[in-house]
Amino acid sequence: MTVQQPIVAFDFDGTLTVRDSFNAFLRWRVPTSRFLIGLTRLAPELIAYAFRRDRGRLKTAAVREFLAGLTPEEVGAQASKFADSVWERFMRPDALATWEDWKSKGATMVIVTASPAVTVEPFARRLGADVLLGTRLKLDKVGAIAGPLAGENCRGPEKVVRLRERFGDDLTLTAAYGDTSGDTEMLQMAAIRGFRVFVERP
């Protein structure tokens, strides 16, 4: 009888980290004046979000405002510097301890995040994640970030879709950890369901 290797999934923002990494990255990579100008341009979408609650639309607008025209390689290089600069004050000690415990048991370690995969990848690499599933960004004909998302925002039911694409339709997670309603469906796939169990701050 073959024993299935444990598969453990972690949300990223608010679960492994103390705050949203994508917004922090956007703020970090540009001068304050440029960031404030960008927020002013995003004002209509921010107001609309209060009524529509469409996170994918808001994320598309933010990507178009702050990242459009850059290549994934350029954003990835910036994200690596960002990860190095914020790691010590961003990562939850108790979440990291649980991550390392599962990793030491030979589990397949998966990050499933609504943030763009390109901005989370440096964190995933440093953690030694086996799989990173994040929101994908559409590229234009020359390979630069266009603005729209490539597919759905990786949140809620989409997290399950992406996990099953990667591991198969009969997937059962050994454990899953999250902190918002956007993780509910992923947690329901797991034998061990950790909802808001990490509270430590660096």
Q: Is 200 inside any structural domain?
A: no
The structural domain count of the chain equals 1
Domain that includes residue 124, residue range: 7-195
Mean pLDDT of 85-113: 98
Q: Is 201 inside any structural domain?
A: no
Q: State the pLDDT confidence band at 40, using cuts at 50, 70 and 90.
A: confident
Q: Is 2 inside any structural domain?
A: no
Find out whether 18 and 202 touch, Cβ atoms under 8 Å.
yes
Q: Which range (23-27, 48-52, 77-81, 168-172) has the least confidence? A: 48-52
Is the pLDDT at 77 greater than 90? The verdict is yes
Q: Is 202 inside any structural domain?
A: no
Q: Is 109 inside any structural domain?
A: yes
Q: Is 91 inside any structural domain?
A: yes
Model pLDDT, residue 51? 67
CATH number, domain at 17? 3.40.50.1000
Task: List CB contacts of 177: < 8 A, sequence separation 6 or more.
Answer: 8, 9, 10, 11, 15, 95, 98, 183, 187, 194, 195, 197, 198
User: Which strands, in side-by-side order, build the sheet including 190-195?
Assistant: 131-135, 108-116, 7-10, 173-178, 190-195
Q: Is 1 inside any structural domain?
A: no
Q: Give the whole-angstrom CA distance, residue 122 versus residue 133.
A: 13
Q: Give the whole-angstrom CA distance, residue 145 versus residue 158.
A: 21
Instruction: Give me the residue label for tokens 């469906």.
Output: 185
Q: State the pLDDT confidence band at 2, using cuts at 50, 70 and 90.
A: very low
Is the pLDDT at 71 greater than 50? The verdict is yes
Alpha helices, H only, the chain: 21-29, 32-52, 55-66, 72-90, 93-104, 117-127, 157-167, 184-187
Q: Is 25 inside any structural domain?
A: yes
| Phi/psi-derived region of residue 10, left when phi > 0, alpha when psi is between -120 and 50, beta in every other case | beta
Find out whether 10 and 110 touch, Cβ atoms under 8 Å.
yes
Q: Which range (43-52, 80-89, 102-111, 148-157) has the least confidence? A: 43-52
Length of the chain, in residues: 202
Mean pLDDT of 6-25: 97
